[in-house]
Amino acid sequence: MPSRALLESLYRAAVAAVDPERLVAEAIGRRGRAFWVRSLSAARSREFVFLPGRLVVLALGKSAVPMSRAAAQALSDRVDDALVVTPAGAPVDGLPPGWRVLEASHPEADDRSLSAGEAALALARSLEEEDLLLVLLSGGGSTLASAVPGDVPLRDKSRTVGLLLAAGAPTADVNVVRGALSRIKSGRLAAAAGKATVVTLVVSDLGDGGWHLVASGPTLGIPPTPSEALTVLDRYRLFPLVPPSVRTYLKFGNLPEITHPGANRWSVLLADVRTAMEGARRAAVAAGAEVRVIPELLVGEARAAARRLAVAGACAGNLVRRAGARHRRLVTVFGGETTVTVKGPGTGGRCRELALATAIRIAGVEGATALVAGTDGVDHTSDAAGAFVDSTTVERALARGLDPYGALDANDSGPFFSALGDAFQPGPTGASVGDLAFVLAPEDGDAGWIPAGEEWEIPLPSVS
């Protein structure tokens, strides 16, 4: 199988492993008027049964529509009300009549996001003690549903979040500031439901960052204090740069504290990036490749993380070699979510920035090939999910008059890969668990002659 075809097959297997529609279908169901939910991650799935008065569904995130389809199929007419908040332009087919669909903005919030946030809060406030709110949560919900304090315009909050992202702040830090400037995030949506039972099913895009923080944790998070948000802004030296309304609110304003009425709060993690990595591992084994899954997730600056991918690309041969054993290609599977400190005027996303930095590092390593892509099929902009790179990427780019080094410095990886024809464009997948990187090592390495009957372990060097 050609190298790129193999890597694309691993990507599609990984996405299939985190198919949100299938996961929700496996996790919930009904028996008469009773509603049950089961854990998918436990070795022996545990099942919990509820008998609510009204059963209301709220789906929020990039995977809202496929998760809602599964819930509608499983619960049918047991659902009394439903609200689906999805990115504008996403397919909304397959939902029953009567399920309200609100399209909102991603990756930047707008007035539609404010409308969606108020609608979600109103839905939660309509519940009585005997009712149940089923929340279907996935990545992207932070901007799809917004509810800012009255003293802070949405544009000012968006400006503040944009400064943090441009400074390379990780999602956990960004969510501290988002939560301090929100009436819906960090557990406040669940608080709006009062004494009603809240059950949250999560498809997480945060890796080891805490799946309770997906979509800024509207039902699972704990509200950060203004002082915590100020600490984050000071850490990145951004406090003097944020709009005056934000500075004033964080210093003098305050949202009401959440009261805990003793209601039931339940949550189930359906899948995360490690689920996708396991799906890719199985596909690689089935394809006859030697596969290594790296447990340490990709984090930090994208161009720094490229060193780890380059090391994997330079490690030729099987992890364990035996005399006379059939040669198998070595593929290394990474997952996680890097950040990009934006210093240039270009366009692209963290996956393509990571791919471009990797291409520069593996230039001349004959046979090394990599695919870096987001599981949602989008890398900041919707024109691509990521990119393919190999040992010839830099050489081919220079031959076409493209400057890979300048593109990296300008954070302009998007146009670079489009011009080179190496952008990876699977289209929106409906899944969102973070980013994946697959690195295929050269077919023939220089590991040297292995004496008969001996085994050699070839470890992947640890590179920070």
Mean pLDDT of 256-276: 81
Segment among 84-93, 285-294, 322-331 with least mean pLDDT:
322-331
Q: CATH topology of 3-147+182-223+258-272 equal to that of 288-440?
A: no
Q: Which two tokens stand for residue 349?
A: 């996303």
Q: What is the pLDDT of residues 71-129, one digit of tens each?
A: 999 999 999 999 999 999 888 999 999 999 999 998 889 999 999 999 999 999 999 99
pLDDT tens per residue across span 347-395: 999 999 999 999 999 998 888 999 999 999 989 888 899 999 999 999 9
Q: What pLDDT sits at residue 464? A: 36
The CATH code that applies to domain 288-440 is 3.40.1480.10
Show the 3-state SS of the chain. Answer: CCHHHHHHHHHHHHHHHCCHHHHHHHHEEEECCEEEEECCCCCCCCEEEECCCCEEEEEECCCHHHHHHHHHHHHHHHCCEEEEEEECCCCCCCCCCCCEEEEECCCCCCHHHHHHHHHHHHHHHCCCCCCEEEEEEECCHHHHCCCCCCCCCHHHHHHHHHHHHHCCCCHHHHHHHHHHCCCCCCCHHHHHCCCCEEEEEEECCCHHHCHHHHHHCCCCCCCCCHHHHHHHHHHCCCHHHCCHHHHHHHHHCCCCCCCCCCCCEEEEEEECHHHHHHHHHHHHHHCCCEEEECCCCECCEHHHHHHHHHHHHHCCCCCEECCCCCCCCEEEEEEECCECCCCCCCCCCHHHHHHHHHHHHCCCCCCCEEEEEECCCCECECCCCEEEEECCHHHHHHHCCCCHHHHHHCCCHHHHHHHHCCEECCCCCCCCCCEEEEEECCCCCCCCCCCCCCCEECCCCCCC
Q: CA 387 to CA 413: how far, in whole Å?
A: 9
pLDDT in tens, 45-59: 688 999 999 999 999
pLDDT band at 260 (very low <50, low <70, confident <90, very high): low
- 3-147+182-223+258-272: CATH topology: Rossmann fold (3.40.50)
Query: Using an 8 Å Cβ cutoff, are 155 and 90 in contact?
Result: no
| Residue ranges covered by each domain of the chain | 3-147+182-223+258-272, 288-440
Mean pLDDT in residue range 432-439: 95
| 172 vs 233, residue with greater confidence | 233
Please determine, for residue 132, whether its predicted confidence score (pLDDT) is greater than 70: yes
pLDDT bin (cut points 50, 70, 90) of residue 326 is low
Top-confidence residue, 44 or 288? 288
Angle at 55 between CA 147 and CA 122, to 5 degrees: 25
Contact 305, 297 (CB under 8 A): no
Predicted local confidence at residue 462, as pLDDT = 39
pLDDT digits (tens, 9 = 90+) for 29-46: 999 999 999 987 655 568
Q: Which residue has the higher pLDDT, 18 or 252?
A: 18
For the chain, the average pLDDT equals 88
Q: What is the pLDDT of residue 461?
A: 35
pLDDT at 453: 29
- Percent of the chain past pLDDT 70, that is, above it, reads 89
- Please give the average per-residue pLDDT across 285-298, as a whole number: 94
Mean pLDDT of 250-279: 83
What pLDDT shows up at residue 463? 36
Taking residues 322-328, report their average pLDDT: 61
